[in-house]
Structures are given as structure tokens and as C-alpha cells.
């Protein structure tokens, strides 16, 4: 320790006020400290001997040996006495990176030392068209879990469960439908390693089958097809396989790489084969994690229970979650008071791929959010404070839509390597030429990737898929449903509609080259009818109007219509209500209007107030 430090230390021990700068005239150095640190590491950081630190701690009433952890507050006091200003270390925030192409938890695993990685159970999600048998299959698989039944555990519905097959565990996410899957993907947390796509053999490939396949492909998650309802007399396996091949899921029997397992979820037939196929596929992809590593995972579901408080199901994806851990998910946090497995049994520890129901969060975390373990309450609060600040900032910033322009920017920075599109057209006949010409259009190493196409109006599901995949929705001769528009607004998904194919292809081509011109968007604010004309000296002619609908706005543009024909387009000179200058006049009220450079209005003319905005092309 330096002489200075020694002196300060002595003074501190004598109970004197210590101020590094005032006492020795030296600059106060700042150091970053974690929320808890061992005495040894702390001594290293402030470059003095551990013995001095221990002495100083004792002087402050803290008994600690060299290997013991001291918290930030204690360390900060000692640091101040040594001439350092301690700041809480900036934490790694799992949220900051969520929008990346590869889910953050996968990247965390990829950063682990390969030697520390162990095989973990595959996490499977079941998708498919409504009524094709997802729920029946999930129940049937759950019933194969003899171990659970034998030991008397009552299966709890916690949104996920594990079964054993050939002594190996498989985790199933028990939330069928894409809403959950999409929500997870939209947050970059996409939990599943494998998608089981249920297709009823009597009904074949249906719109949600195609959508689900598109989701899985966009997320680069392997698909196994469960060809369900083969017990039904009208089941047509070959026709369904043919339809699957048409959407790119070619059976391995036909030299493709999709395993298609015929099953009857209702009769519980073929389930063993399906589980076998899941293990086979998982052996081909690297399904690993470090049980000793950084603890991270996804919130599967969460609710407030009247008697138990906040109950949340967490899927551990790396590390091991333990009772007593301080967990942060979004802006919820808490120390885990109790953990239960899907049989409702109390457990102390959850390994990678295990779903657990936990108690301890202070508020209900959002399903699909990532969670992480931090070392202390202080760290949890700091993280949440930062998130809240970031959120506030984001709210005041202009929203960042997934626009063609922004996608172009992200290609240039190497973030995205493809332009993803979802295409809806009126008829199959117009879909094909559009897709063919788009597929031919890749520019440089940027590819056009049509994630999903179909006929009919643009619906909420199209927008959801676009939001989760950072894609753009293209409509050709179709409308967007009101709900889809609302969702697109909320999620900032861009919907572009066309009625001429070459305009569509031209725009995409421009987008690929980053050359989209800004668009002028006109909004009509209201209309008024001229009832009288007055002449006022100095000002000139004034039109006495009655506002028919909307409003006339002083600062907006104005056009004069006579018999529905535009006869003038320009700006207002004045807008008065009675004698007062006003900024706007609403429908049902009278007003006096003078127009710049125009006075030839007549009774019966209509004035239209409108705005024009220059908007970056989407």
C-alpha cells in the first residue's frame, strides 16, 4: 500500500473524516465494482494488499477474511478511504441484444467454453392448424410419462413439461398456437430447438400449417411433421405428403430431409416413433448448454395467484437456477422462494432445458421475456432502472418501423442478409408471377426471402409473422383487415399494397438498392362550404363558410373545389371565428376565410383543408 493510503487508513481508523482529494491533494480515481466482490479481488482492484483492506474493514466494523465477499456499499466506503470513487459496475443486460438474428441465449451458450458444455434435453414446441390435434397430442405425450404417474405426482399445468424416452428427457412447451411462439421470437428469445408440425391427414396442409412452417423456417428451427388422425377413414397420407412437399417439407422417404411420422394422437399410436424422431433430430443439432454457466432462460407463462402470489414458469436455457437466486425478467424481479417441477414437486435446482414453476417475483413478468440471474437485489434494481430509462427514451424517440429503408441500412451494417417478405394476393394466379420475379431479384449478396405467401386479405397473423421475423407485408389487390392495420401500427410493421405487379417489383428492386424516394402522404382534415362572400377593405374578399365535416386548420393547405373540380390550391391568409383569429374551426361552426393569392370564390364552393407530409418510403 502507498504511504498515502497508509496515512488515510490510519486517519480513517482514528475516526477522522476522510476525503481523498482534500487530504492528499490527489485526483480521486474512479473504479467500477460489482455489487459484491471478494476481499482479494477488491484489494487487487484498488492495488493494495488484502491485509490493509481487512484492517480497514475491521475499522469500519466489518470482519472479513480474504476469500469473503463484501457488498458494494462496504467496498465503496473502503475504496473512498483509499482515494477511489467506486461506481457500480455496468451490468450486462440480456435485453439490449434481444433483437439480434440469433436468440441471445443461444449466443451466450456459443460463448461458453466448449469443454464446459453438456448435452441438454431438446425443447420442442407443437404447432399446426386449428383442430389438427395439437392439444390431443400434447396430452397423449404427457400420458406416456409413466414415471410421473407412478410416483403419484399430479401433473400440473405450468405451460411446459418433460417426458422421458429411452432414458432421455424431452421438454415440451405446452402452449399450442403460434401466439406464444411468435411472442417469444419477436423478443428474440425463441425457446424451441425443434418444431413438431401437426397436420391432420384428413384435412391436409391448411393456412396455419403454412404459417407455422414459415415461422419455424424463419427461426431456422428444424421441423418434424406429425401426420395426425391416420385412424380416420378419410385420412389421405399421400395427398398430405404431396402438399407438404409443395411447401418445402419433403419427406425423407422421397429423398427430402423432413421426417414425417404418421400418428393417431387420439388412439395414442405412433407416439414412440415421434419421440424417437425428436431424439434423432436433436442428435443432429448441437443441443447443449453449460449447467455451471451464466443463468439465462425464457419466461413461459406467468400469472398472479390469489393465495400464492406471482407464479411464473421459467424455462432454463443455460446455467442452473437455484432457490434463493435473484432473478430479473423484464422489469420484474425477486428472490426465488420456491420452485416446483411440472409434477408440482418442490425442487432446489433446475438444470438447462428444465421448465420450473417459481414463486418470488415482485410483479408478473411477461411471457416470452428473457430472465437472468443477478447477484443481488441492488444489481436487480439497477438493471430495472436502466431498462425503465431506456424504455422511456424509446417512447420519446420516433418509432423505428421495419421499413424497407431501415432494412437496407441493416444490410449494409451486415445485420440482415435478406429482405424478408410476406405476400398476400387476391388469387393464386397473381401470386406465382410475383414470387417468381421476386426470387430472381436478389441484389449482390442480399437475397429476397418470401417467408410466407397466400391468398386473401392481410390478417393479424401475417402482421405477427412479419413483426417476429422483421419482414414486410406486401398486398397485391387485397385489403388489410382493420385488426391487422392496428397491429401493424402497434408493432411498426410496414404494409405495402399494390395493384400493378411491375410497381411492386420496381419498389422491391429500389429497396434492395437503397434508393426509395420519400413519399408524399396527404391527409384531408375537413371540408367547409362557402355561404357568403364579404369584401373587407385592406384584406380583400372573405368567404363566410360553414364547416361541414372535420375541421379547417389555419396552418394547413387549402384547396377550392367547384362542382368537385379543383380550381385553386394554396394557403390560408386568415381564419376567423366571429372576430377572433383562430387556429382551427370544427364541423358545425361558421368561420371567415381569406386565401392567399385567391379571391374568386363563389357561393357554394367547397374549401378542403389538408396536410402533406413527406414520409420516408417504406
Residue ranges that bind ligand GDP, judged by CB under 6 A: 128, 130-136, 176, 228-229, 231-232, 264-266
Three-state secondary structure readout of 397-415:
CCCCCECHHHHHHHHHCCC
Please state, in angstroms and rounded to a whole number, the distance separating the CA atoms of residues 267 and 260.
18
Residue the block writes with cell 487508513: 9
In the complex, the smallest distance separating the C-beta of residue 228 from ligand GDP, rounded to whole angstroms, is 5
Residue among 130 and 521 whose Cβ is closer to ligand GDP:
130
In the complex, the smallest distance separating the C-beta of residue 202 from ligand GDP, rounded to whole angstroms, is 8
How far is CA 235 from each of CA 200, 231, 252, 267, 378, rounded to the nearest angstrom?
8, 7, 20, 14, 59
> Residue-wise over 34-66: b if at least 16 C-beta within 10 A, else e?
bbbbbbebbbebbebebebbbbbbebeebebee
Residue among 98 and 236 whose Cβ is closer to ligand GDP:
236
Residue among 133 and 148 whose Cβ is closer to ligand GDP:
133
In the complex, the smallest distance separating the C-beta of residue 257 from ligand GDP, rounded to whole angstroms, is 25
In the complex, the smallest distance separating the C-beta of residue 142 from ligand GDP, rounded to whole angstroms, is 13
Kind plus residue range of the DSSP H or E element containing 536: strand 519-536
Residue among 162 and 208 whose Cβ is closer to ligand GDP:
208
Return the number of other C-beta atoms located less than 10 Å from residue 13's C-beta.
Answer: 14
In the complex, the smallest distance separating the C-beta of residue 548 from ligand GDP, rounded to whole angstroms, is 51
Nearest to 589 by CA among 532, 550, 539: 550
Residue among 208 and 357 whose Cβ is closer to ligand GDP:
208
In 233-376, where does DSSP find H-type helix? Answer: 237-246, 271-284
Residue among 121 and 176 whose Cβ is closer to ligand GDP:
176
Please state, in angstroms and rounded to a whole number, the distance separating the CA atoms of residues 506 and 504.
5
Residue among 102 and 130 whose Cβ is closer to ligand GDP:
130
Contact residues for 468 (Cβ-Cβ < 8 A; gap 6+): 182, 183, 185, 186, 215, 218
- In degrees and rounded to multiples of 5, residue 603 shows phi and psi of -60, 140
Residue among 132 and 554 whose Cβ is closer to ligand GDP:
132
Q: What is the CA radius of gyration of the chain?
A: 32
DSSP-assigned letters across all residues of 452-507: EEEES-B-HHHHHHHHHHT-EEEEES--B-HHHHHHHHHHTB-EEEESSHHHHHHH
Three-state secondary structure readout of 46-68:
CCCCHHHHHHHHHHCCCCCCCCC
Residue among 119 and 206 whose Cβ is closer to ligand GDP:
206
In the complex, the smallest distance separating the C-beta of residue 411 from ligand GDP, rounded to whole angstroms, is 38
In the complex, the smallest distance separating the C-beta of residue 132 from ligand GDP, rounded to whole angstroms, is 5
Please state, in angstroms and rounded to a whole number, the distance separating the CA atoms of residues 429 and 502.
15
Cell, residue 447: 437475397
Please state, in angstroms and rounded to a whole number, the distance separating the CA atoms of residues 567 and 602.
11
* Burial (CB count within 10 angstroms: exposed 0-12, middle 13-18, buried 19+), residue 216: buried
In the complex, the smallest distance separating the C-beta of residue 368 from ligand GDP, rounded to whole angstroms, is 20
Please state, in angstroms and rounded to a whole number, the distance separating the CA atoms of residues 352 and 294.
11
In the complex, the smallest distance separating the C-beta of residue 231 from ligand GDP, rounded to whole angstroms, is 5
Residue among 132 and 553 whose Cβ is closer to ligand GDP:
132
In the complex, the smallest distance separating the C-beta of residue 201 from ligand GDP, rounded to whole angstroms, is 9
In the complex, the smallest distance separating the C-beta of residue 590 from ligand GDP, rounded to whole angstroms, is 59
Cell, residue 210: 403454412
Contact residues for 154 (Cβ-Cβ < 8 A; gap 6+): 343, 344
In the complex, the smallest distance separating the C-beta of residue 133 from ligand GDP, rounded to whole angstroms, is 3
The answer to whether 16 touches 31, Cβ cutoff 8 Å, is no
Residue among 95 and 134 whose Cβ is closer to ligand GDP:
134
Residue among 176 and 188 whose Cβ is closer to ligand GDP:
176
> Residue-wise over 162-187: b if at least 16 C-beta within 10 A, else e?
bbebeeeebbbbbbbbbebbbbbbbb
In the complex, the smallest distance separating the C-beta of residue 125 from ligand GDP, rounded to whole angstroms, is 13
Please state, in angstroms and rounded to a whole number, the distance separating the CA atoms of residues 437 and 505.
7
Residue among 176 and 454 whose Cβ is closer to ligand GDP:
176
Please state, in angstroms and rounded to a whole number, the distance separating the CA atoms of residues 198 and 194.
13
Residue among 165 and 266 whose Cβ is closer to ligand GDP:
266
In the complex, the smallest distance separating the C-beta of residue 199 from ligand GDP, rounded to whole angstroms, is 10
Amino acid at each position: 500500500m502507498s504511504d498515502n493510503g497508509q496515512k488515510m487508513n490510519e486517519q480513517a481508523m482514528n475516526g477522522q473524516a476522510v476525503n481523498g482529494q482534500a487530504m492528499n491533494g490527489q485526483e480521486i480515481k474512479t473504479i467500477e465494482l460489482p455489487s459484491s466482490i471478494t476481499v482479494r479481488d477488491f484489494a487487487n482492484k484498488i492495488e493494495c494488499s488484502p491485509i490493509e483492506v481487512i484492517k480497514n474493514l475491521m475499522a469500519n466494523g466489518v470482519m472479513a477474511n480474504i476469500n469473503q465477499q463484501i457488498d458494494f456499499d462496504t467496498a465503496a466506503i473502503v475504496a473512498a478511504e483509499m482515494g477511489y470513487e467506486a461506481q457500480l459496475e455496468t451490468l450486462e443486460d440480456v435485453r439490449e441484444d434481444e433483437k439480434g438474428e440469433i436468440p441471445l441465449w443461444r449466443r451466450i451458450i456459443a460463448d461458453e467454453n466448449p469443454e464446459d458444455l453438456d448435452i441438454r434435453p431438446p425443447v420442442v414446441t407443437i404447432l399446426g392448424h386449428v383442430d389438427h390435434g395439437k392439444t390431443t397430442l400434447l396430452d397423449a405425450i404427457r400420458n406416456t410419462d409413466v414415471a410421473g404417474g407412478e410416483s403419484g405426482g399430479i401433473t400440473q399445468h405450468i405451460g411446459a413439461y418433460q417426458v422421458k424416452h429411452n432414458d432421455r428427457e424431452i421438454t415440451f412447451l405446452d402452449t399450442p398456437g403460434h401466439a406464444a411462439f411468435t411472442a417469444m421470437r419477436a423478443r428474440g428469445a425463441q425457446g424451441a430447438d425443434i418444431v413438431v408440425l401437426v397436420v391432420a391427414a384428413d384435412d391436409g396442409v391448411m393456412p396455419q400449417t403454412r404459417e407455422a412452417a414459415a415461422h419455424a423456417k424463419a427461426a431456422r428451427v428444424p421441423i418434424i411433421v406429425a401426420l395426425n388422425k391416420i385412424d380416420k377413414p378419410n385420412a389421405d397420407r399421400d395427398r398430405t405428403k404431396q402438399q407438404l412437399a409443395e411447401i418445402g417439407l419433403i419427406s425423407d422417404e422421397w429423398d427430402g430431409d423432413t421426417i414425417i411420422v404418421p400418428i393417431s394422437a387420439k388412439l395414442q399410436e405412433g407416439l414412440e416413433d415421434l419421440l424417437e424422431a425428436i431424439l434423432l433430430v436433436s442428435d443432429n443439432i448441437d443441443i447443449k448448454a453449460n449447467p455451471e454457466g451464466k443463468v439465462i432462460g425464457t419466461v413461459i407463462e406467468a400469472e398472479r395467484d390469489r393465495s400464492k402470489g406471482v407464479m411464473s414458469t421459467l424455462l432454463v436455457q443455460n446455467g442452473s437456477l437455484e432457490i434463493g437466486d435473484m432473478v430479473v425478467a423484464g422489469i420484474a424481479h425477486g428472490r426465488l422462494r420456491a420452485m416446483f417441477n411440472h409434477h408440482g414437486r418442490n425442487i432446489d435446482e433446475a438444470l438447462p432445458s428444465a421448465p420450473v414453476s417459481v414463486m418470488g417475483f415482485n410483479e408478473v413478468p411477461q411471457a416470452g421475456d428473457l430472465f437472468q440471474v443477478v447477484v443481488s437485489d441492488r444489481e436487480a434494481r439497477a438493471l430495472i432502472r436502466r431498462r425503465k430509462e431506456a424504455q422511456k427514451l424509446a417512447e420519446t424517440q420516433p418509432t423505428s418501423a421495419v421499413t424497407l429503408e431501415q432494412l437496407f441500412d441493416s444490410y449494409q451494417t451486415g445485420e440482415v442478409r435478406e429482405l424478408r417478405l410476406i405476400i398476400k394476393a387476391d388469387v393464386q394466379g397473381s401470386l406465382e408471377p410475383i414470387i417468381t420475379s421476386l426470387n430472381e431479384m436478389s441484389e449482390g449478396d442480399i437475397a429476397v426471402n418470401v417467408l410466407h405467401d397466400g391468398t386473401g386479405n392481410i390478417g393479424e397473423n401475417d402482421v405477427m409473422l412479419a413483426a417476429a421475423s422483421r419482414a414486410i407485408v406486401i398486398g397485391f389487390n387485397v385489403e388489410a383487415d382493420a385488426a391487422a392495420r392496428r397491429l401493424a401500427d402497434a408493432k411498426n410493421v410496414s404494409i405495402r399494397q399494390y395493384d400493378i405487379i411491375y410497381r411492386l417489383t420496381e419498389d422491391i428492386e429500389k429497396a434492395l438498392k437503397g434508393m426509395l424516394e420519400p413519399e408524399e402522404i396527404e391527409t384531408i382534415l375537413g371540408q367547409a362550404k362557402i355561404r357568403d362572400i364579404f369584401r373587407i377593405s385592406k384584406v380583400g374578399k372573405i368567404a363566410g363558410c360553414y364547416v361541414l365535416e372535420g375541421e379547417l386548420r389555419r396552418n394547413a393547405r387549402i384547396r377550392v373545389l367547384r362542382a368537385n373540380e379543383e380550381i385553386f390550391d394554396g394557403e390560408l391568409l386568415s381564419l376567423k371565428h366571429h372576430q377572433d383569429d383562430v387556429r382551427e374551426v370544427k364541423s358545425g361552426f361558421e368561420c371567415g376565410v381569406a386565401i392567399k393569392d385567391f379571391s374568386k370564390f363563389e357561393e357554394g364552393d367547397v374549401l378542403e383543408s389538408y396536410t402533406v407530409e413527406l414520409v420516408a418510403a417504406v
